Structure formats: C-alpha cells, structure tokens
Amino acid sequence: MSEPAAHFESIASLSRRIRARELSPVELAEAFLTRIDALDRKLGAFRLVCAERALSEAQAAEAAVSAGRETGPLHGIPFAAKDLFDVEGLPTSAGCRLLENNLALKDATVVRRLRSAGMVLLGKTNTVQFAYGGAGINHHHGTPKNPWHDVPHLPGGSSSGSGVAVAAGMAPMALGSDTGGSVRIPAALCGITGLKTTVGQISRAGVYPLSWSLDSVGPLSRSVEDAALVYSAIAGPDPEDDSTVAARPVDLVTELQRGIKGLRIAFAESVFFNDVDPEVEKACRACGGALVSMGARLSSVPFQVAEQARLLNPRGLIIAAEAYTLNQRLLDEHFDQLDPVVAHRMIKGREILAHDYLRTTLEWKRIRSEALDTFNQVDALICPTTMVPALPVEEADRDMDSYSDANMKYLRNTAIGNVLDLCGLSVPCGFTSKGLPVGLMIYAKPFDEATVLRVGHAYQQATDWHLRTPTPD
C-alpha cells in the first residue's frame, strides 16, 4: 500500500481496493492512525483519538471480508466525527471544557448507521464551542490549523477539526453539522467537499444542538462521490428525530451518473457577490466554462430574495434565541468560564423578544416560498461559498471587532441558504495567489440533494482542484 495515495484516496477507490483484497481495513486504519500521530500535534484537528477502538472495528471489518460476507461501499473505511456527535462511552464536549466529562450513553443515529455500514471510527474532531461560529476559533481546545499555510490560518467553522482532518489526509471523511454554514465554510477554506443537507433528511438525534430550526448534518469529504456514498448511508427517517418523518432512504450515487446535460445552472447575481475578494470571485466565475463543457445551460439570474434573507437574519436572531434557550444554564451560571467569542454573542439570545422571534419565522416562510419561484426557472444556483479565503488566525482573533468582521465574511453567503432552507454543496474551485483554497457553492431547492451532487460531481469530473493536496508535514 502506498501510504500517501491511501491518505488522499477517495472512499470509492479505497472501497474497490478493499473488496478486491488489495488493501485490508486494518492496514488502512493503521495508516490513518499513524498519520494522525505524525501531524495532529501541529494541526490540532482531533479532540480525541480512539486508536484501540478503531483497530478493533477494523479487525471486525477485515474478518467479514475474509469470511466472504457481502460488504457495502463504506465497509472498512475510516471516518471521524465532530465532537457534537454522541459516541457511546466517549465524552461529547461540544468544544467546551465544562462538558469534557459528558459521556454519551449511546451512539448518535448517524454514527450508528455508519458503523452498521462497516465504517471505522478514528476519533472525534474539534469544533467551535457549541458550534457557534464560522471562523473556526476555539480558545478552550485550540483552533485547528489550516493545512494549506505554514502560518496559522483559519480552518473555518464550526466543523473546523473535521475540515482539517480530511484536508490533511488524516481521515477520508468526517461528519459535520451545518446551522449557518458550518460544513461548507471549513470545506471551502480547507479545499475539500462539504454537503449541507436539507433539515429533515438526516437525523440529528444524539447531536449536540445549536438551533432546532436550522441544524442539519452532513459529510466533509475529498470528493462529491464520497459525499453521496455517505449521504445514502445516513439519510432516512428516525423516530428519535421527528423532523425526519418524511425522509426516505436514497441512492444518490447512481444519480451522479446522469450528468448535467441540459441542466439549467445560473450565477446568483445578488448579495452573494457583493464585496467578495477579487480572487475568490474570479475563481468562481471561471467555473462556468467547466459546467458548460459538461452540457449545462449556463445563465445569470437576479436572486434578490437572498438579500431579504440576509436582512431577516439580524445578528443570527433565530439561532441566537434557540442557542441561548438550549444553553441557558451554562450561559447564566458559568458565563466567565465560556469561550468569549461564543459567550458574548450567544448571551444576546436572551434579549430577543417573543414577537420578534415569531415574526421572523413567519417572514422566513414567505421568502422561502419566493425562493422556490427562482427554482422553477433554474435547477441550481452557483456563487462563492465565502467572501474571503482563510485569514491568518492572528488577524481574525486580534479583538472582538476583528473576530466579528471575519465571522460575518464567512457566514454571509452560507447562512442565507440556511434561512431559505436550501440544500447546498461547497466544492474546491481554485486557489488564491497565496495558495489558499477557494470554494464554489452550489444551491438547489429543499430536498434536492441529488441536483447539487450531480452538478458538483460533473464539475469535479471536468477539473482537478479537489485532487490537489496540502503538504502540512
């Protein structure tokens, strides 16, 4: 086995090698654990590594292969989980020192489903405290280092450790959650693929909550095909999460093969492009040619409802109110022991009046309906995932004003999609002159993950940005 190839190899490729018995699950787990041991002291992606458990699970996966039992595409593949996801017997700290002894009694539904599919858990990745922030900073457990630059740069949040782990070749896939952009932002800043699913498609049972209205679960991976494989394994109804009552298991990997010939794809000409870094805009605009070459019908549309969505999300009103409600005891009783970049923003949730909260949710319903009118004219919209590439940590964390400015620049384009209840995908589409990744965001209507994945897969078939890797050693 060539270790560098395995570290940056897609799940689909690794799976083929396992089924052909060219590669054993134990060898694969050992290779990733060795790489974590070599790199993570510098990068800080993992909150905890469960090496013994991983090797035991890998041995069980290998025994199944040796016995000739039928294996699926995820069998024997390692993964990591953001430290919001419950894993039986391990703590779920949600990025907070006060929760470091919060032992889970059972696996989160998505963790259980992945382990049932034969995946091997390597460990749990660092997150912004309570998943509340787009920059990726955590003053308690440390801010994971973006592997694309020697000087510490932001990883994106809140699934910061998951993004760094996949980008640096320490895991082929990591689970994340997305409430305002927390899967797509680290995917964009770290040069990997991140899928934001529609609320109600994947169970959130056993996932530390931030906002019951907006929380969603999704994978961070090297390729769109890998994201589709994972999505197909974890989507579907769960009696422990009533938002999923209408969800149905799906096979989106087959959908990828349909290509995008004839699909109507449009640049979303609205707030998404306002004040965007010129190099980011140039890279995203250049994506049009690749999509046309794959048969798409490309245009531009005025998506003005995006600006309404931005204005109807002042200071993240809904998230702040719900996040404060969920974390009230910690905020009221232990405020000074919490990460200040989170606590000072989240505590404002207790100031939100009931009529402002309710009026905003009603307005969201109206503009979500208006957004669907655009998707009667186009199948997918494209725009930059973030306004700027990864900033130096020192610059973004200088003071509260610097942090707030950076946080807004990462969350603006992604949070609009959460407010409008869209599904979204971020794929790498280029690099800045400083060698920092740029992400392209693909949006489709709610519950149309098939389309965003088809568009993203076609783009990756026509380009090689997702195949480029950092050298964090």
- Residue spans per domain, the chain: 3-467
pLDDT recorded at residue 353: 95
Does 211 participate in catalysis according to the annotation? no
Query: Strand 423-431 vs strand 193-196: parallel, antiparallel, or unpaired?
Result: antiparallel
DSSP string, 144-169: PPPTT-SS-B---SSSHHHHHHHHTT
Adjacent-strand bridge partners of 221: 173, 193
The token pair that represents 443 in the structure block: 């949006």
Q: Fill in the DSSP letter of residue 351.
A: G
Contact of 291 with 455, CB cutoff 8 Å: yes
pTM of the predicted model over 0.95: yes
Low-confidence ranges of the chain (pLDDT < 70): 1-5, 473
The token pair that represents 218 in the structure block: 């999704």
Contact of 346 with 324, CB cutoff 8 Å: yes
The candidate with the shortest Cα–Cα distance to 166, out of 43, 61, 53, 25, is: 43
Does 300 participate in catalysis according to the annotation? no
Catalytic residue among 24, 158, 162, 270: 158
Contact of 130 with 84, CB cutoff 8 Å: no
Catalytic residue among 93, 159, 182, 270: 182
Q: φ and ψ at 251, to 5 degrees?
A: -115, 95
Whether domain 3-467 has CATH 3.90.1300.10: the reply is yes
CA 175 to CA 177: how far, in whole Å?
7
Q: Which residues fall within 8 angstroms of residue 233, CB to CB, at 6 or more apart? A: 72, 74, 113, 114, 117
CA 123 to CA 203: how far, in whole Å?
20
What is the maximum span of the chain, computed from C-alpha positions, in angstroms?
A: 62
pLDDT recorded at residue 315: 79
pLDDT recorded at residue 471: 87
Catalytic residue among 10, 15, 24, 82: 82
CA 354 to CA 321: how far, in whole Å?
9
Does 145 participate in catalysis according to the annotation? no
